[in-house]
Amino acid sequence: MTDHEAIERYLDELLVQLRGSPRTVRRALAEAESHLHEAVAAGMDADEAIGRFGGASVVAAASNHASGTPLSVVMRQLLLAACLLSAIGFTAIGASALISGAMDAAFGPSFVAGDLPSITYTAARCDEYRRLAPTEPSCRAAAARHHTDEVETTGIASGVVGLAGFGAWAFLRRRWRATPATGALPPALVPGAGVAVFGVGALALAIQAMQSIGWHSTSGLGQWLSQAMVSGAVAAGFCVTLIRTLRRSPVTILE
């Protein structure tokens, strides 16, 4: 290996271990390169120059410690990430409510949020449902209407909260744009968390939907199906983003 190749290899190792703003990383790398070439020009071989300069992990640790991201910047980025994930979550609930509404129109309220056939109602409970849904022909149908309306209205309200969350996220991101925060959080953090949260959610909701089918009843199946569909779609979207982010990330495998 030539001196030039040895230095290049060392700089590659250093690059993948440096943290901080792009400017900090570029400067640390440029000074390391300048220093090593200076040492070689002064008569050292590359291995000796690198040995004197210090292992990549030691030098990177010293640089990362000196240019450590302030806690306030880390907290802001975490808040932004939490805000974005919450906004997506609430909006997803809103979207599932719209799908539930479509299922309600197509298959009726019993499919969306009806009770299982084994559920019975007290007279007082039945009267309450009949009062809330007087046009329904039976107590069971009135209960299904009530539950479905509840699923749809709370879902739509969640969707509105989610859209407000997107607004808050966009506002805070613009407000904190001047913060030199690049690299404070790993770029794959939000998509990774999204895949985990929405993936597990989709799985749990799909299991819930399958249990309804297992009980040989479609009563209440719609709400689980709609939520599982939306959660699965969001998880798939995060998965695509995660793969793209990981493929864009700085090279971490040394040749």
Partner 1 sequence: MAHGHLDLLLLAVLRRGGPQHGYAVIAGLREASDGAFDLPEGTVYPALHKLERDGLVQSEWSSEDGRKRRVYALTGAGRTALVARKTEWAMFRSGVEAVLA
> Which residues contact partner 1 (rule: CB under 8 A)?
24, 27-28, 30-32, 34-35, 37-39, 41, 52-55, 58-59, 62-63, 65-67
User: Least distance in Å: CB of 46 to partner 1?
Assistant: 14
Q: Is the dihedral of CA 157, 159, 163, 164 positive or negative?
A: positive
CB 219 within 8 A of CB 212: yes
Decide whether 24 or 110 has the Cβ nearer to partner 1: 24
CA dist 94 and 101 (Å) reads 11
User: What minimum distance in Å lies between the beta carbon of 182 and partner 1?
Assistant: 17
Q: How far apart are CA 223 and CA 106, in angstroms?
A: 13
Closest to 187 measured CA to CA, from 246, 237, 239: 246
What's at 244, amino acid-wise? Answer: R
**What residues contact residue 208 under an 8 Å CB cut-off, 6+ apart?**
224, 228
- Specify the residue, 29 or 197, whose C-beta has the smaller distance to partner 1: 29
Cβ atoms of 81 and 191 within 8 Å: the answer is no
Output 5 or 38, the one with its CB closest to partner 1: 38
CB of 60 to partner 1, least distance (A): 9
Report the largest interatomic distance among the alpha carbons of the chain, rounded to a whole angstrom. 97
Query: What is the Cα 19 distance to its own chain's centre?
Result: 22
Distance in Å, CB of 69 to partner 1, minimum: 14
* Of 15 and 39, CB closest to partner 1: 39
d(CA 151, CA 230): 15
Token representation of residue 136:
């329904």
Q: Which is nearer to partner 1, 67 or 179 (CB)?
A: 67
Length of the chain: 255
CB of 36 to partner 1, least distance (A): 9
Nearer to partner 1, 62 or 196 (CB): 62
Could you tell me the smallest distance in angstroms from the CB atom of residue 249 to partner 1?
24
